[in-house]
């Protein structure tokens, strides 16, 4: 497949807002594609590089080779070239990467160069494309859309499903089942304004503590344990105490969903950043585990001894969890058997208050009859927090002045639009500690793609949790909405930008703004 074909389709998708047209474009694209080209092409269409970050600064891309007259590059040639760039290291690495990029850009037409530039700098903003691509893939292969979506969830990514479907047709979907040792995308929670609202929506349900830790999925196969984050990264070696705890549970093969968090001397959860720092540390893990041990708290089970539990109601999955995991390793919860009973609702609200007193974020209300919808955020799980919060993406940052001179300070905040781009909702520098200022100056400097001397534009990758008092209409921003009294709570490096909150969520939560 020519790289020019990917660039063309990407441009056509970006120019249309109609989901049906996007689906049709992708279906046509998939029908003409070779199965082995599709994993690379899907990554490019979504704005991802399979290699991840290339370690290339803006300066290396400013002066580019003259473009080729006619398209000749294939997607595999581009992938090989970018792999070579990513592998350059050591003395002279920047010069080596620049030389390789010059060769690649010299083989590309002007249109291909612009698309390559967007991929390398993170400016191809179509992160929401995967859902539409799954529909296009179903249309191209005459496969049931629901079956394709489920296969993607169980595979953890669209690319392997696309390759198998295009090579072998709908029968290939049977290959994608829950397997111990292969993590799946976690089920996610939507938001509710209050416990009473959440219980009314959920029906018979359980109200669980919402823990301020790192989401993990734990796989165990006859004592061999694998621990994965919500982004499916393998962190087993960083959490030896969790692996040891799980290895002692009384089943041969199982998959658990939960969180890990650290506690202080009083038994209260430590700040999220401390837990995240511990889980993220790769240096002297044994010493880190001794200095700040983390603990697992589980709230769901997806498989036990070869039995897939995903489609069982939550109440049945929790009964299986109780049989497998001792109470001390399970999340606290309160059951609401009858949401129409005022006393039970009052008890749920009291549980919420006690969860906050114990230092947790709030609660998650889970419908008793809901299956485990891997990778989905729906009304079956509803999180309730005491303040309005949003997970937004940093789009740019302004240079500080006064006591913040030399720091990157005022954040430009964006929510996801339906097409995968980001819509700015406001700015803030409130809530930033000196330590956070130091950290974000270095981190956002690494993500910079442009700098006019005052505002530094960054790749839209870093998620930040923002508290705010409300939303108001504003002609100042493209979405017509602006956050009132926004302030930074914490950075969420455990979340990809594709899981940030959407503009639609903001509108719905605040009555259209």
Crossing angle of helices 129-141 and 158-168, in 10° steps, is 10
Query: What does the H/E/C string look like for 299-324?
Result: EEEEEECCEECCCCCHHHHHHHHHHH
CATH number of 3-174: 1.10.3260.10
Q: Please, what is the average pLDDT of the chain?
A: 90
Q: What share of the chain is helix, strand, coil (3-state, %, to 5)?
A: 40, 25, 35
In which band, very low, low, confident or very high, does the pLDDT at 444 lie, cut at 50, 70 and 90?
very high
CATH number for the domain whose boundaries are 188-384 = 3.30.470.30
Mean pLDDT of 154-181: 92
CATH superfamily of 388-509: Nucleic acid-binding proteins (2.40.50.140)
Is residue 215 a known part of a binding site? yes
Annotated active-site residue in 22, 210, 366, 495: 210
For residue 22, indicate whether it is catalytic. no
pTM: 0.73
What are the φ and ψ backbone dihedral angles of 280, each rounded to 5 degrees?
-80, -15
Q: Annotation-wise, does 418 bind a ligand?
A: no
When pLDDT is averaged across residues 275-300 and rounded to a whole number, the result is 91
Q: What span, in angstroms and rounded, lies between the C-alpha atoms of 122 and 48?
A: 8
pLDDT, tens digit, for every residue of 103-126?
Answer: 999 999 999 998 988 888 776 766
208 marked among binding-site residues: yes
Task: Give me the mean pLDDT over the 316-338 stretch.
Answer: 97
For the segment 406-428, the average pLDDT, to the nearest whole number, is 91
What's phi and psi for 451, nearest 5 deg?
-150, 115
377 labelled binding-site residue: yes
pLDDT tens digit sequence for 218-231: 999 999 999 999 98
Of 329 and 155, the one with more pLDDT: 329
pLDDT tens profile 448-457? 999 988 899 9
Highest mean pLDDT among 13-22, 456-465, 467-476: 456-465
* Residue 383, annotated as binding a ligand: yes
- Domain boundary assignment for the chain: 3-174, 188-384, 388-509
């Amino acid at each position: 497949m020519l790289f020019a074909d990917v660039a063309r389709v990407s441009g056509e998708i970006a120019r249309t807002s109609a989901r049906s047209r996007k689906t049709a474009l992708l279906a046509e694209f998939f029908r003409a594609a070779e199965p082995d080209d599709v994993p690379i092409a899907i990554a490019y269409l979504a704005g991802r590089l399979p290699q991840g970050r290339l370690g290339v600064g803006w300066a290396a891309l400013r002066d580019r080779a003259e473009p080729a007259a006619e398209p000749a590059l294939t997607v595999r040639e581009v992938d090989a070239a970018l792999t070579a760039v990513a592998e350059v290291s050591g003395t002279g690495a920047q010069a080596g990467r620049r030389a390789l990029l010059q060769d690649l850009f010299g083989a590309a037409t002007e249109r291909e160069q612009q698309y390559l530039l967007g991929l390398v700098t993170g400016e191809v903003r179509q992160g929401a494309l995967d859902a539409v691509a799954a529909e296009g893939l179903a249309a191209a292969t005459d496969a049931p859309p629901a079956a394709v979506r489920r296969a993607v969830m169980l595979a953890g990514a669209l690319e392997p499903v696309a390759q198998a479907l295009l090579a072998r047709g709908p029968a290939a979907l049977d290959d994608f089942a829950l397997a111990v040792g292969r993590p799946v995308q976690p089920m996610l929670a939507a938001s509710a304004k209050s416990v009473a609202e959440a219980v009314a929506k959920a029906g018979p349900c359980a109200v669980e503590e919402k823990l301020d830790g790192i989401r993990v999925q734990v796989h165990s196969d006859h004592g061999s344990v694998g621990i994965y984050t919500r982004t499916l990264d393998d962190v087993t070696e960083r959490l030896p105490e969790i692996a040891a705890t799980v290895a002692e549970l009384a089943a041969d093969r199982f998959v658990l969903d939960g969180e890990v968090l650290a506690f202080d001397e009083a038994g209260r959860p430590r700040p999220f950043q401390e837990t995240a720092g511990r889980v993220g540390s790769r240096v002297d893990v044994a010493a880190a585990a001794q200095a700040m041990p983390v603990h697992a708290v589980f709230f769901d089970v997806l498989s036990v001894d070869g039995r897939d539990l995903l489609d069982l109601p939550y109440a049945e999955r929790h009964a299986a969890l109780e049989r497998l995991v001792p109470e001390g390793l399970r999340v606290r919860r309160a059951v609401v058997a009858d949401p129409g009973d005022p006393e039970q609702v009052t008890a749920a609200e009291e549980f919420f208050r006690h969860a906050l007193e114990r230092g947790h974020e709030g609660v998650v209300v889970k419908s008793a009859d809901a299956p485990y919808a891997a990778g989905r955020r729906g009304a079956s799980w509803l999180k309730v927090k005491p303040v309005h919060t949003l997970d937004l993406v940093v789009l740019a940052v302004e240079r500080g002045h006064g006591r913040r001179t030399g720091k990157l300070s005022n954040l430009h905040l964006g929510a996801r639009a339906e097409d995968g781009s980001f819509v700015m909702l406001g700015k803030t520098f409130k809530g930033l500690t000196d330590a956070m200022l130091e950290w974000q100056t270095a981190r956002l400097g690494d993500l910079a793609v442009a700098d006019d001397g005052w505002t530094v534009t960054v790749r839209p990758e870093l998620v930040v949790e923002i508290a705010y008092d409300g939303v108001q209409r504003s002609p100042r921003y493209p979405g017509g909405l602006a956050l009132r009294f926004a302030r930074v709570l914490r950075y969420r490096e455990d979340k990809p930008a594709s899981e940030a909150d959407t503009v639609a969520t903001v509108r719905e939560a605040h009555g259209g703004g």
